[in-house]
Amino acid sequence: MRVIALVDLDDTLFQSLRKCPPDVPADALTALGFGRDGAPLGYASPRQRHFLDWLAQSALVIPVTARSRDGLSRVRIEFTMAVCAHGGLILGSDGAPDPDWCAHIAREAAPLAPALNALFEATVAAAADQGIALRARLVSEENMDLYILLKHETADEAALGALLDRIEPLVPPGWTIHRNGNNAALIPPFLGKARAVAALLPRLRALHPDSPVIGIGDSLTDAPFMTQCDYAIMPAGSQLAEATLGRLV
Protein backbone atom coordinates (compact mmCIF):
# COMPACT_ATOMS: atom_id res chain seq x y z
CA MET A 1 0.00 0.00 0.00
CA ARG A 2 1.28 3.45 -0.92
CA VAL A 3 0.27 6.88 0.27
CA ILE A 4 -1.35 9.26 -2.20
CA ALA A 5 0.21 12.72 -1.97
CA LEU A 6 -1.69 15.63 -3.49
CA VAL A 7 0.98 18.30 -3.39
CA ASP A 8 1.30 21.94 -4.36
CA LEU A 9 4.63 22.83 -6.00
CA ASP A 10 5.75 26.47 -5.81
CA ASP A 11 6.65 27.60 -2.29
CA THR A 12 5.93 24.07 -1.06
CA LEU A 13 8.52 21.82 -2.69
CA PHE A 14 10.68 24.61 -4.10
CA GLN A 15 10.76 28.40 -4.41
CA SER A 16 12.54 31.26 -6.14
CA LEU A 17 16.14 31.96 -5.19
CA ARG A 18 15.21 35.03 -3.14
CA LYS A 19 12.85 32.92 -1.01
CA CYS A 20 15.38 30.18 -0.26
CA PRO A 21 16.66 29.91 3.34
CA PRO A 22 19.44 32.46 3.80
CA ASP A 23 21.60 29.98 5.72
CA VAL A 24 21.71 27.49 2.82
CA PRO A 25 24.60 28.07 0.38
CA ALA A 26 23.68 28.38 -3.28
CA ASP A 27 25.67 25.27 -4.24
CA ALA A 28 23.51 23.20 -1.85
CA LEU A 29 20.30 24.10 -3.68
CA THR A 30 18.70 21.87 -6.32
CA ALA A 31 17.05 23.48 -9.34
CA LEU A 32 13.62 21.93 -9.96
CA GLY A 33 11.67 24.63 -11.82
CA PHE A 34 12.83 26.17 -15.10
CA GLY A 35 11.83 28.98 -17.44
CA ARG A 36 10.99 28.61 -21.11
CA ASP A 37 14.60 29.47 -21.92
CA GLY A 38 15.86 26.66 -19.69
CA ALA A 39 17.11 28.97 -16.95
CA PRO A 40 16.54 27.68 -13.40
CA LEU A 41 13.84 29.60 -11.52
CA GLY A 42 12.80 27.32 -8.66
CA TYR A 43 15.14 25.78 -6.11
CA ALA A 44 14.74 23.15 -3.39
CA SER A 45 16.75 23.28 -0.18
CA PRO A 46 18.41 20.04 0.99
CA ARG A 47 15.54 19.44 3.42
CA GLN A 48 12.96 19.97 0.69
CA ARG A 49 14.95 17.64 -1.56
CA HIS A 50 14.96 14.91 1.09
CA PHE A 51 11.24 15.44 1.69
CA LEU A 52 10.58 15.06 -2.04
CA ASP A 53 12.77 11.95 -2.19
CA TRP A 54 10.78 10.47 0.68
CA LEU A 55 7.53 11.23 -1.14
CA ALA A 56 8.81 9.68 -4.36
CA GLN A 57 9.72 6.47 -2.53
CA SER A 58 6.56 6.12 -0.47
CA ALA A 59 3.74 7.88 -2.30
CA LEU A 60 1.94 8.35 -5.57
CA VAL A 61 2.82 12.02 -6.12
CA ILE A 62 0.10 14.09 -7.78
CA PRO A 63 0.82 17.80 -8.22
CA VAL A 64 -2.08 20.15 -7.49
CA THR A 65 -0.78 23.40 -8.85
CA ALA A 66 -1.69 26.82 -10.17
CA ARG A 67 0.87 26.24 -12.90
CA SER A 68 -0.30 25.76 -16.46
CA ARG A 69 0.38 22.50 -18.25
CA ASP A 70 3.37 24.15 -19.91
CA GLY A 71 4.65 25.41 -16.56
CA LEU A 72 4.31 21.95 -15.07
CA SER A 73 6.29 20.45 -17.94
CA ARG A 74 9.25 22.58 -16.84
CA VAL A 75 9.33 21.06 -13.34
CA ARG A 76 11.74 18.16 -12.84
CA ILE A 77 9.65 16.03 -10.54
CA GLU A 78 8.31 12.56 -11.24
CA PHE A 79 4.56 12.37 -10.72
CA THR A 80 1.42 10.36 -11.40
CA MET A 81 -1.47 12.41 -12.79
CA ALA A 82 -1.79 16.13 -12.02
CA VAL A 83 -4.17 19.02 -11.40
CA CYS A 84 -3.07 22.19 -13.22
CA ALA A 85 -4.16 25.80 -13.71
CA HIS A 86 -5.97 26.23 -10.38
CA GLY A 87 -8.05 23.15 -11.16
CA GLY A 88 -8.82 24.02 -14.76
CA LEU A 89 -7.09 20.92 -16.09
CA ILE A 90 -6.71 17.34 -14.87
CA LEU A 91 -3.96 15.29 -16.49
CA GLY A 92 -4.31 11.53 -16.51
CA SER A 93 -1.54 9.02 -15.91
CA ASP A 94 -0.81 9.17 -19.66
CA GLY A 95 -0.24 12.93 -19.44
CA ALA A 96 -3.32 13.72 -21.52
CA PRO A 97 -6.08 16.11 -20.38
CA ASP A 98 -9.12 14.41 -18.91
CA PRO A 99 -11.84 14.91 -21.56
CA ASP A 100 -14.78 14.87 -19.15
CA TRP A 101 -13.21 17.52 -16.92
CA CYS A 102 -12.29 19.64 -19.93
CA ALA A 103 -15.89 19.49 -21.16
CA HIS A 104 -17.16 20.46 -17.71
CA ILE A 105 -14.79 23.44 -17.44
CA ALA A 106 -15.62 24.56 -20.99
CA ARG A 107 -19.32 24.69 -20.13
CA GLU A 108 -18.62 26.66 -16.96
CA ALA A 109 -16.08 29.02 -18.55
CA ALA A 110 -18.00 30.10 -21.63
CA PRO A 111 -20.57 32.39 -19.94
CA LEU A 112 -17.86 34.15 -17.91
CA ALA A 113 -15.38 34.71 -20.75
CA PRO A 114 -16.50 38.33 -21.40
CA ALA A 115 -16.18 39.22 -17.70
CA LEU A 116 -12.75 37.60 -17.50
CA ASN A 117 -11.45 39.52 -20.50
CA ALA A 118 -12.95 42.79 -19.27
CA LEU A 119 -11.30 42.33 -15.86
CA PHE A 120 -7.96 41.59 -17.52
CA GLU A 121 -8.13 44.80 -19.57
CA ALA A 122 -9.18 46.83 -16.53
CA THR A 123 -6.31 45.42 -14.47
CA VAL A 124 -3.71 46.20 -17.12
CA ALA A 125 -5.13 49.72 -17.49
CA ALA A 126 -5.05 50.30 -13.71
CA ALA A 127 -1.42 49.15 -13.54
CA ALA A 128 -0.46 51.52 -16.35
CA ASP A 129 -2.31 54.37 -14.63
CA GLN A 130 -0.37 53.74 -11.41
CA GLY A 131 2.93 53.26 -13.21
CA ILE A 132 3.25 49.69 -11.95
CA ALA A 133 5.61 47.36 -13.84
CA LEU A 134 3.12 44.51 -14.08
CA ARG A 135 3.39 41.12 -15.71
CA ALA A 136 -0.17 40.07 -16.47
CA ARG A 137 -1.52 37.28 -18.63
CA LEU A 138 -4.59 35.22 -19.19
CA VAL A 139 -3.80 31.59 -18.41
CA SER A 140 -5.44 29.35 -21.01
CA GLU A 141 -5.73 25.60 -21.42
CA GLU A 142 -7.32 23.63 -24.25
CA ASN A 143 -8.40 26.89 -25.94
CA MET A 144 -10.13 28.08 -22.76
CA ASP A 145 -9.22 31.31 -20.94
CA LEU A 146 -9.24 30.34 -17.27
CA TYR A 147 -7.81 32.98 -14.93
CA ILE A 148 -5.60 36.07 -14.70
CA LEU A 149 -2.03 35.72 -13.42
CA LEU A 150 -0.30 38.81 -12.00
CA LYS A 151 3.28 39.47 -10.89
CA HIS A 152 5.32 42.62 -10.34
CA GLU A 153 8.36 42.84 -12.61
CA THR A 154 10.72 43.59 -9.72
CA ALA A 155 8.84 41.62 -7.04
CA ASP A 156 7.51 44.78 -5.35
CA GLU A 157 4.86 43.04 -3.26
CA ALA A 158 3.57 46.32 -1.77
CA ALA A 159 2.95 47.80 -5.22
CA LEU A 160 1.20 44.64 -6.36
CA GLY A 161 -0.93 44.68 -3.22
CA ALA A 162 -1.90 48.30 -3.85
CA LEU A 163 -2.99 47.38 -7.36
CA LEU A 164 -5.09 44.50 -6.07
CA ASP A 165 -6.73 46.83 -3.55
CA ARG A 166 -7.58 49.24 -6.36
CA ILE A 167 -9.14 46.65 -8.66
CA GLU A 168 -10.93 44.70 -5.92
CA PRO A 169 -14.21 46.61 -6.48
CA LEU A 170 -14.09 45.53 -10.14
CA VAL A 171 -13.85 41.83 -9.32
CA PRO A 172 -17.28 40.18 -9.69
CA PRO A 173 -18.90 38.59 -6.61
CA GLY A 174 -17.90 34.98 -6.10
CA TRP A 175 -14.51 35.38 -7.76
CA THR A 176 -11.29 34.79 -5.79
CA ILE A 177 -8.43 37.26 -5.41
CA HIS A 178 -5.44 35.08 -4.59
CA ARG A 179 -2.56 36.92 -2.91
CA ASN A 180 0.67 35.22 -1.91
CA GLY A 181 3.73 37.45 -1.99
CA ASN A 182 4.48 38.46 -5.56
CA ASN A 183 2.10 35.86 -6.95
CA ALA A 184 -1.47 36.96 -7.47
CA ALA A 185 -4.38 35.60 -9.46
CA LEU A 186 -7.96 36.60 -10.23
CA ILE A 187 -9.90 33.36 -10.35
CA PRO A 188 -13.49 32.84 -11.62
CA PRO A 189 -15.82 30.73 -9.47
CA PHE A 190 -15.79 27.73 -11.80
CA LEU A 191 -12.12 27.17 -10.97
CA GLY A 192 -10.43 25.94 -7.81
CA LYS A 193 -8.02 23.20 -6.87
CA ALA A 194 -10.65 21.79 -4.52
CA ARG A 195 -13.19 21.37 -7.34
CA ALA A 196 -10.76 19.34 -9.42
CA VAL A 197 -9.62 17.29 -6.42
CA ALA A 198 -13.26 16.54 -5.57
CA ALA A 199 -13.64 15.08 -9.06
CA LEU A 200 -10.35 13.18 -8.95
CA LEU A 201 -10.43 11.73 -5.42
CA PRO A 202 -13.27 9.20 -5.98
CA ARG A 203 -11.29 7.66 -8.83
CA LEU A 204 -8.14 7.48 -6.72
CA ARG A 205 -9.99 5.96 -3.76
CA ALA A 206 -11.61 3.37 -6.05
CA LEU A 207 -8.17 2.32 -7.29
CA HIS A 208 -6.48 2.56 -3.87
CA PRO A 209 -9.25 2.21 -1.26
CA ASP A 210 -6.95 1.73 1.73
CA SER A 211 -4.30 4.30 0.82
CA PRO A 212 -4.26 7.40 3.02
CA VAL A 213 -4.37 10.68 1.13
CA ILE A 214 -2.09 13.54 2.21
CA GLY A 215 -2.72 17.11 1.09
CA ILE A 216 0.37 19.32 1.03
CA GLY A 217 0.33 23.06 0.34
CA ASP A 218 1.48 26.49 1.42
CA SER A 219 -1.24 29.00 0.53
CA LEU A 220 -4.80 29.79 1.56
CA THR A 221 -6.05 28.58 -1.81
CA ASP A 222 -4.57 25.15 -1.02
CA ALA A 223 -6.59 24.74 2.17
CA PRO A 224 -9.90 23.74 0.48
CA PHE A 225 -8.35 20.79 -1.36
CA MET A 226 -6.28 19.79 1.67
CA THR A 227 -9.41 19.48 3.81
CA GLN A 228 -10.64 16.72 1.50
CA CYS A 229 -7.59 14.60 2.36
CA ASP A 230 -6.98 12.31 5.32
CA TYR A 231 -3.96 14.31 6.48
CA ALA A 232 -2.57 17.77 5.76
CA ILE A 233 1.01 19.09 5.71
CA MET A 234 2.10 22.71 5.32
CA PRO A 235 5.57 24.28 5.28
CA ALA A 236 6.43 26.18 8.46
CA GLY A 237 6.34 29.92 7.87
CA SER A 238 4.06 29.61 4.85
CA GLN A 239 0.97 31.73 4.28
CA LEU A 240 -1.26 28.83 5.33
CA ALA A 241 0.80 28.03 8.43
CA GLU A 242 0.77 31.65 9.54
CA ALA A 243 -3.02 31.83 9.07
CA THR A 244 -3.66 28.64 11.06
CA LEU A 245 -0.83 27.60 13.37
CA GLY A 246 0.31 31.18 13.80
CA ARG A 247 -2.91 32.02 15.58
CA LEU A 248 -2.20 29.42 18.25
CA VAL A 249 1.19 30.70 19.39
pLDDT value of position 183:
86
The percent of residues above 70 in pLDDT, for the chain, comes to: 99
Please give the average per-residue pLDDT across 26-36, as a whole number: 95
Q: Is residue 98 part of a domain?
A: no
Among 137, 164, 187, which residue terminates a domain?
A: 187
Cα-Cα end-to-end distance for the chain: 36
The CATH number of the domain where 205 resides is what? 3.40.50.1000
The CATH number of the domain where 134 resides is what? 3.90.1150
C-alpha to C-alpha distance for 56 and 209, rounded to whole angstroms: 20
Crossing angle of helices 113-130 and 157-167, in 10° steps, is 130
pLDDT value of position 246:
74
| Residue 1 pLDDT level (bands cut at 50, 70, 90) | low
Domain that holds residue 219: 3-88+192-248
Higher per-residue pLDDT: 131 or 103 = 103
| Residue 235 pLDDT level (bands cut at 50, 70, 90) | very high
Q: Based on the domain organization, do 166 and 183 belong to the same domain?
A: yes
Could you read off the pLDDT of 191-212 as tens digits, one per residue? 999 999 999 999 999 999 999 9
Q: Is residue 214 part of a domain?
A: yes
Q: Is residue 30 part of a domain?
A: yes
Q: Which of 15-29, 142-156, 213-227, 235-249 has the lowest mean pLDDT?
A: 235-249
Q: Based on the domain organization, do 66 and 49 belong to the same domain?
A: yes
Could you read off the pLDDT of 49-71 as tens digits, one per residue? 999 999 999 999 999 999 999 99
Q: Which of 35-44, 75-84, 178-187 has the lowest mean pLDDT?
A: 178-187
C-alpha to C-alpha distance for 100 and 10, rounded to whole angstroms: 27
pLDDT of 135 > 70? The answer is yes
Q: Based on the domain organization, do 182 and 196 belong to the same domain?
A: no
Among 136, 163, 187, which residue terminates a domain?
A: 187
- Helix residue spans in 36-112 (DSSP H): 46-58, 69-73, 99-109
| Residue 23 pLDDT level (bands cut at 50, 70, 90) | very high
pLDDT value of position 249:
63
How many domains, the chain?
2
pLDDT value of position 181:
82
